[in-house]
Amino acid sequence: MENEKWEELFQGCRNAVERFVYFKIPIKADAEDILQEVFLTAFQKFSGLRDPLRFKAWMLSIARSKCADYYRSKTKSSEIPLDSLPEGNLVYGRLGFAESSPVRETLALLEKRDREILGLTYFGELSQAEIARRLQIPLGTVKSRLHTAKAHFREKYPFSPATKGAFSMKKLPEFLPEYTIEKSEKEPFSVKWEELMGWFLVPKLGEKLSWGIYDMPSRKCDRIYDMEVTGKAEVHGIEGVELIAKESDCSKKQDTIEYTFVAQLTDTHCRYLAAMRTENGIRRYITFLDGENFLPNWGFGENNCGNETNLSPKGDICRNGNEIQTSDKKFLLDIVGRYTVKIDGKSYDTVCVMDIETYNSGVVGEQFLDQNGRTILWRRFNRDDWAFHRYGKRWTEILPDNQRLTINGETYVHWYDCITNYIL
């Protein structure tokens, strides 16, 4: 009877536990080994669980502990990929970090006890009290060692901490400024793109941004989003930052809507961890462990690894004017060329990043990024039959004069543009 109960509870949360471990552990083989340890430990200790309603939380606590043990073992061989330690915001991605890293090199210069305390704190995600118990040292000693280890890392790290809040909030124009987009003969450059896909804000402490949606061909602003990172946040033991977005309807037909979500930026990817919405006065949260309730709107990439931050042309999307051909990959996001974007009297050297139906079937985006990895202009195209059941017409009928793209033989029609106050 107990085995049947175990099997029922286990199957109900197995997917969530697997997603959690794969997010926490960068090497798939290691993650699979840890999952086996988690399942075996849980099965062996199941009889001691008093409240079956806490089964999922209990399983996740075992998984969190096993992942912490994994990172603790890595500290002994300097394999912990620390990142951004001077800012005190250490995170890691499911796909891992770059092999060549000044952080690794700096870590290798530290003494063993400094590496150990940093690894347990930021990648083992243990509290200071837990570290004290594991290392069998007083809590005051843990605090002292951590303070010293951070100082030693700062002394040896070759770069200064990133400047926070690099730009101030500026009011967006009522109408989209005139712009031109010219193909450059120069080779596309690689770029570090740390913005949240679809929201344009970099999920780092101190960042804020305003951006607007402009209908085409009227060029009139339809909605404005004022965004700000409000602080650190943690979702299922994974650290990120909380962001607030306030949506204003320029026609004043509806009240301001506020969105809250949590995002995480690593060396390789940027992804969403959780989102919140209010219904009937109740704040409802969904997270990356909630599967189909979360992934269609907030998930990107394989297993929600997020959008890539290190972009270079891959050849998955080939563009010749308005004619585009793609590979058969599921997640199509690629640099398709270098362009000069002139907007509001300013000229920008950019690469065009196209994403083809990565988050919404029938939707294509053109994103023009400068060499700082910031969006200069974003343009949306709809497949001709996108949301036909809602509009009752094809987009070639709704917007007959707007630009068209042909992608693998299908027609896509330009719908609207977005700009941010980064360019003002």
Residue 95 pLDDT level (bands cut at 50, 70, 90): very low
pLDDT, greater one: 377 or 158: 377
**What residues are paired with 348 via a beta bridge?**
341
- Using only C-alpha atoms, the chain has a radius of gyration, in whole angstroms, of 24
pLDDT of residue 1: 57
SS3 37: helix
pLDDT, greater one: 328 or 330: 328
Q: What is the DSSP string of 331-396?
A: SEEEEEEEEEEEETTEEEEEEEEEEESSSSTTEEEEEEE-TTS-EEEEEEEEETTTTHHHHSS-HH
CA 76/CA 95 separation, integer angstroms: 22
Q: Of 68, 6, 58, 5, which is closest to residue 34 (Cα–Cα)?
A: 68
181 pLDDT above the threshold of 90:
yes
Residue 305 pLDDT level (bands cut at 50, 70, 90): confident
pLDDT tens per residue across span 185-240: 999 999 999 999 889 999 999 899 999 999 999 999 999 999 999 999 988 888 89
Give the residue-averaged pLDDT of 30-51. Answer: 87
Residue 77 pLDDT level (bands cut at 50, 70, 90): very low
Give the residue-averaged pLDDT of 18-45. Answer: 84
Residue 49 is given by DSSP the state -
pLDDT of residue 74: 62
Give the residue-averaged pLDDT of 105-116. Answer: 75
CA 35/CA 20 separation, integer angstroms: 10
84 pLDDT above the threshold of 70:
no
32 pLDDT above the threshold of 70:
yes
Cβ-Cβ contacts under 8 Å for 193 (sequence gap 6 or more): 270, 307, 308, 309, 310, 311, 353, 369, 373
13 pLDDT above the threshold of 80:
yes
pLDDT, greater one: 101 or 181: 181
Model pTM? 0.63
Q: Which CATH number fits domain 179-423: 2.60.40, 1.10.260, 3.30.450, 2.40.360?
A: 2.40.360
Residue at token pair 């690629």:
334
pLDDT of residue 101: 45
pLDDT of residue 221: 94
pLDDT tens per residue across span 126-177: 778 888 888 889 998 988 988 898 888 777 765 444 443 333 346 899 999 9
Question: Interior CA angle at 374 toward 369 and 378, to 5°?
Answer: 55
Q: Of 356, 350, 389, which is closest to residue 373 (Cα–Cα)?
A: 350
Residue 152 CB burial class (10 angstroms; 0-12, 13-18, ≥19): middle
Sign of the C-alpha dihedral computed for residues 78, 269, 190 and 204 taken in this order:
negative
pLDDT tens per residue across span 385-397: 998 888 899 999 9
What are the tokens at 186? 């120069």
CA 336/CA 353 separation, integer angstroms: 6
pLDDT, greater one: 106 or 130: 130
How many residues are given for the chain? Answer: 424
pLDDT of residue 165: 39
78 pLDDT above the threshold of 60:
no
360 pLDDT above the threshold of 80:
no
pLDDT tens per residue across span 252-300: 767 778 889 999 998 888 989 998 876 567 777 888 887 767 776 777 7
Residue 187 is given by DSSP the state P
> CA 68 from chain center: how many Å?
22
In this structure, are strands 332-343 and 346-356 parallel, antiparallel, or unpaired?
antiparallel
pLDDT of residue 92: 31
Q: Is 421 left (phi over 0), alpha (psi -120 to 50) or beta?
A: alpha
CA 132/CA 127 separation, integer angstroms: 9
Residues 275/235, Cβ–Cβ less than 8 Å? no
Give the residue-averaged pLDDT of 337-349. Answer: 95
Range(s) for CATH 2.40.360 in the chain? 179-423
